[in-house]
Amino acid sequence: MFPKLKINLPAIAHNVKEVVSRAEEKGVEVVGVVKGCSAQPEVASVFLQNGFRWIGDSRILNFRRLIEAGIRANFLLLRIPMLTELADVVSMSAATLISEIETIKHLSNIASFANKVYDVIVMVDVGDLREGVLPEDVEAFVKEARLYEGVRIAGVGTNLNCYGAVLPTVENLSLLVDVGEKVKRMVSVEDFVVSAGGTGTLKLLEDGTLPKGVNQLRIGEAVLLGVDTPHQRKVPYLRQDTFSLMAEVVEVKIKPSVPIGEQSVDAFGKLPHFEDRGLRKRAIVAIGRQDVMVDLLYPVDDNIEVLGASSDHTILDVTDVQDDIAVGDIVEFNVGYGAMLLATTSPYVEKEIVKTE
């Protein structure tokens, strides 16, 4: 059945081992983030079998899915939790990222009722302007948070390179470490965590410039795809043959390269631009924006160009392809992070788990 996403477990296992090895040398623990592949249980198992002790995801429903699949791990919730899901958060995860006192209050009630002490990592906004307490407000935040039973301030963390596209640097992570030292003195936690997020931190680890005191990294993309998008590179010691998408050709025709008639916005409210290249041979594959982020599909055959897509169809220019393409043929794509995320989430994309090479 197509479209189909192939998931190469041996390649992912290689990446886990490589990242864990380099992190352990620096005294850093890595949380293996599975949200990019929609928490495929087979991938989570490979993470745990090859060195990760913590599994991170932003959706509590994914933890339920993993637990139902028999996965046992320390689960870290990466999205600051909604009040309406806190009972599940406490029962299904070991810790969560947090940035609001109101959430601490509700967590306290739920954890205390369950006779638990639940760990939270206070998020600090060091510049990306997504979630987090501003550095100058953290001490007051922690002072108030400590008043609530059933909740343990287990560390501080930050997120970078998501909303504001701010890269992790020695400067902003040193600020996190400085804040963490103050908080650690306030809470007297021996195994205190200073947690930095994102594959972009991996380069600092490699270069030996990761500030001393950062002892946890939350990494998904590098392990899942072998790439470091923030630094626009393929990580040289990691494999990139981890996920590949197959789509079936349903039409092949020679057509003009510019649409004919009065133009308006497309089905997604965008006004597309077309270059007049004359008549071109085009193929349509049966996958679209409902299934995948088409802009992050990269044909394995460099002679194929992705022209665009609707919700159900993706249009390719196949004029320069050496072998003739016909209806029923399969086109293979490498995927970027967003394409992997949507393809693993879509119920219309079959997932094929490759266990051996």
Q: Answer for the pair 157, 193: CB distance below 8 angstroms, yes or no.
A: yes
Closest CA to 172 of 122, 209, 222, 208: 209
Separation of alpha carbons 171 and 126, rounded Å: 10
CA dist., res. 2 & res. 277, Å (int): 31
**Gyration radius from the chain CA atoms:** 23
Catalytic residues: 35
Question: In terms of Cα–Cα distance, which of 103, 132, 146 is closest to 197?
Answer: 132
Angle, alpha carbons 174-238-288 (nearest 5°): 100
Question: Cβ(9)–Cβ(220) under 8 Å?
Answer: no
Closest by Cα among 333, 334, 311, 313 to 253: 313
* Residues 279-297 as b or e (16 or more Cβ within 10 Å = b): ebbbbbbbbbbebbbbebb
Calpha distance 175→183 (Å, rounded): 13
Q: Which residues contact 159 (CB under 8 A, 6 or more apart)?
A: 123, 128, 130, 131, 132, 197, 198
